[in-house]
Amino acid sequence: MTVKDAVDEERRCFLRRATITAGSVGLLASSIPFISYWLPSVDTEAAGEPIQVDLAPLKPEQQLTVVWRGKPIWVIRRTQWMLDSLSKLNNFLRDPDSIDDQQPPYAKNIYRSIKPEFFIAVGVCTHLGCIPTYRPDVGSISPEWLGGFYCPCHGSTYDLAGRVYKNVPAPKNLEIPPYGYINDSLIIIGEDQAPAQTKKV
């Protein structure tokens, strides 16, 4: 091989690498529109906007279900008796202190809500996604039952703060969505604070 051949080889090698690199960058970049196309479109995001819920019509123990981003959201008005029962159950629960990141910081308390009276949660079982039933009646699921939620698909149970029991298939407490109080009887679900304009339910 002459000197010129060696230089040629080197140049060819460099050019080949440079071109392949540039070409790969181009190919990767051209995949961007195909990936962004799959992101929720502007109208899909608009449909997922936060919703307002009026708490005034709720009677004690009543459960209201609304839909936000395609999922059922429960709004339950708890009685004082229900709230008092929560502290008795800590030994039976998998995560009584809500260590797992299933709730916003303001719901990281024994009531798992901003105000104890109203419980707002995503009504989807953390096991495999069924919608649990609301069973506030004492002694209905078992003799020691103090009220809570029972999932009919595989038997998972939760207390009236959505905390999951031990020895059931579900691994985590029910998820609490971001929400906030616009005023004493109006909440907005989907956002931490109340903004200027939203859809009313």
Partner 1 sequence: MMKGMLLFILMLLSTMVFSQEEISIALEKAPVNIHDTASIKRGAVFFARNCEMCHTMIYLRYDSLAIKSGVLYSRMPINVKTWPLNIRPPDLSLEASRRGVDWIYTYLHSFYLDTQRPTGWNNLLFLNTAMANIFAPYQGQQIRLPLNEVGAKIYSRAYQWYDLLELQTPGSLTPEQFDAVITDVVNFLAYASEPYKIDQEKLGYWVLGFLIILFILIYRLKREYWKKLEK
Partner 2 sequence: MENLSRKKGMLAWINARFPLREFLYKHLTHYFAARNFNFWYYFGSFSLLVLANQILTGIWLTMEYTPTATEAFSSIQHIMRDVRLGWLIRLLHTTGASAFFIVIYLHMYRGIIYGSYQYPRELLWLIGMMIYVVLLLEAFTGYVLPWGQMSYWGAEVITSFASAVPWVGKYIVIWLRGDFAVSGVTLHRFFSLHVTAIPLVILFLVFIHLVALHYVGSNNPDGIDIKHDRETKEDVPFHPYYTLKDLTGAVLFLIIFLSIVFYYPGMHGLFLEHENFVPADPLQTPSDISPVWYMTPFYAILRAVPNKTLGLTIMAASIALLFVLPWLDRSPVRSIRYKGIYSKIAICVLVISFVGLGYIGIHSVSPLRTFLAQIFSIGYFAFFLTMPIYTRFETFKKPPEHLTS
Q: Which residues bind partner 1 (CB under 8 A)?
A: 8, 11-12, 15-16, 18-19, 22-23, 25-26, 29, 42-43, 46
Report the C-alpha gap between 80 and 73 in whole angstroms. Answer: 22
Phi, psi at 146, each rounded to 5°: -105, 5
112: left (phi over 0), alpha (psi -120 to 50) or beta: left
Q: How far is the CB of 14 from partner 2 (least distance, A)?
A: 16
Output 11 or 88, the one with its CB closest to partner 1: 11
CA-wise closest residue to 64 among 47, 48, 52, 81? 52
197 contacts partner 2 (rule: CB under 8 A): no
Can you state the percent helix, strand and coil of the chain, rounding each to 5?
A: 25, 20, 50
Output 46 or 99, the one with its CB closest to partner 1: 46
Output 4 or 59, the one with its CB closest to partner 1: 4
29 contacts partner 2 (rule: CB under 8 A): no
12 contacts which partner out of partner 2, partner 1, none, CB within 5 to 8 A by kind?
A: partner 1
